[in-house]
Amino acid sequence: MSEFRTASSAGPDEAVPDAPITPASPGSWDTRSEEVLSDSALTVGAAGSDARAGSRVADVPAVKGKTRKPGGRRGAVDPVKALMHRHRELCERAVDPLEIAAGLEAHGVTDRTAARFRHRDVFSLAEEMYARAERDDESASGASGATGGSSAAALSQSEARAAGPQVPVGWAAFAMLPGAVCAMAVAALDLTSGSAKLFAGVLGALAVGVALRVALRQGPLRVLGRQVPATRAWTGFLLAYALVGEGLLDGVLSGGPDGPWPLRTAPLLGLALAVAPAAWCARVFAVQSARTLAVSRGLDDFAAAVRPLLCGVFAVFLAVLTGLLLASGAVLGEGTRGVGPAVALGALLLLARLLEVHGFPDAGALMLGVACAAQTLALATALGGRLPGFGFLSAPVEGVASAWGPGAVAVLICGGAAAVLLAHAMRRLTRASAHAEVVR
């Protein structure tokens, strides 16, 4: 037990290295401990290399009972690499940084989120992810010639994307097909009578439906992603109401209907002719949005540039649609009756189709269904008001019809739904993800 001697039993000149005595002075912490804790021994400057850092750590005297490993210091975590791993498929199939930026924005990554990855905006973060993914592919392939070819192909695809989405050749002719077929159907209705007129009407409706289906599938209004099947049913109901709804509501409110319902063919002809300008507006919006996306440096900048573009395209379509409806009414002798409801319906259909084309079909289908339900409810309340003691049911519809005419009911319903869709489109269609095929 001689190794457990105390300081009191040892002589003044005898060295007891492992004796549990209280330090008399802080002399030992002035030399070795300060050297161990110095910044030059534990940190590495931005311009320093790993080899120099390892030599500095190796030169530090080891503390007794502890062994310092040269690689023991925890390295900085690469957040961009972790983000790339999370979106590995997006980085692998992207042909330019714009696809990665749109994909990140679709997953909720904003410019504020990009700041946590030490980037000013999502676009600069996407550029780094695209460049690093491309370097990983190059190192894995190890072929410099293939690298040049892939870079050229990516550049050409990026230029093609900036030019807008591809559309089939001759889409303008397909867009004019519904108007031409509808004009022939209306002419057949005017030239026939009796059972022949009924047959011409049914055949004409089928022909217009087929022409409209072809036009929507072969032009800028085609949908490449998910669709809501109920949208077709709601659209058909709204078009049927534009044909007979105003006359039917007027007859119900006046105590009828007496005799056959009057048909309003001018609104349908104007809407069919408006398919061509609607396709043109959709094409302009897609091309200009793609070009804006190619030069934008932030999500807010892109949204601020696309928002007036959407408003301008929508306003141009409404102006052209109004002119076509007025011309159709003048040619068919119906005047301006039905112009207001048809304009509201055309605005609603265009916004619903644009949202569906760019990957947001649910909102358009919902508002189309709401418009159908509201018009059905208006007819039902007008009929229900005839029952004894239930006159209050038809009071709202009668008030609107007596003040502005029976067509005002459809204007309020379709116009309100279109206003809601326009506000929704201002938020959805101004996102970068709405203009990238990768998120469709």
**pLDDT number for residue 165:** 64
Confidence of residue 63 (pLDDT cuts 50, 70, 90): very low
**pLDDT number for residue 95:** 62
Phi, then psi, of 319 in degrees rounded to 5: -65, -45
Give dist(CA 335, CA 325) in Å, integer.
Answer: 9
Residue 68: both structure tokens together: 């310092």
40 and 56 Cβ atoms separated by less than 8 Å: yes
**pLDDT number for residue 190:** 86
**pLDDT number for residue 437:** 56
**pLDDT number for residue 356:** 93
- CA–centroid distance for 110 within its chain: 14
**pLDDT number for residue 258:** 72
Q: Is the pLDDT of residue 72 over 50?
A: no
334 and 239 Cβ atoms separated by less than 8 Å: no
- Per-residue pLDDT tens over the stretch 198-226: 899 899 999 999 999 999 988 899 888 88
- Judge residue 170's burial from the number of C-beta atoms within 10 Å of its C-beta, 0-12 exposed, 13-18 middle, 19 or more buried: exposed
**Side chain identity at 140, as an amino acid letter?**
A
Q: Hey, is 368 helix, strand or coil?
A: helix
19 and 10 Cβ atoms separated by less than 8 Å: yes
**pLDDT number for residue 353:** 95
**pLDDT number for residue 56:** 40
What are the DSSP calls for 412-439, one per residue? HHHHHHHHHHHHHHHHHTTSGGGG-GGG
Confidence of residue 436 (pLDDT cuts 50, 70, 90): low
34 and 28 Cβ atoms separated by less than 8 Å: no
Which carries the bigger pLDDT value, residue 249 or residue 163?
249
Which carries the bigger pLDDT value, residue 299 or residue 416?
416
**pLDDT number for residue 164:** 56
Which carries the bigger pLDDT value, residue 274 or residue 42?
274
283 and 303 Cβ atoms separated by less than 8 Å: no
Go through the chain and tell me how many residues it has. 440
- Over residues 371-400, the mean pLDDT reads 90
- Per-residue pLDDT tens over the stretch 90-110: 776 666 676 777 777 777 777
**pLDDT number for residue 282:** 93
126 and 98 Cβ atoms separated by less than 8 Å: yes
Give dist(CA 291, CA 363) in Å, integer.
Answer: 26
**pLDDT number for residue 81:** 72
Mean pLDDT of the chain: 76
Give dist(CA 344, CA 293) in Å, integer.
Answer: 31
98 and 158 Cβ atoms separated by less than 8 Å: yes
Strands of 138-195 (E only): list them: none
Confidence of residue 21 (pLDDT cuts 50, 70, 90): low
Confidence of residue 309 (pLDDT cuts 50, 70, 90): very high
Residue 203: both structure tokens together: 């055949």
- Over residues 4-22, the mean pLDDT reads 46
- Per-residue pLDDT tens over the stretch 387-431: 888 888 889 999 999 889 889 999 999 999 999 999 999 999 988
Tell me what percent of the residues of the chain surpass a pLDDT of 70: 71
- Over residues 253-261, the mean pLDDT reads 76
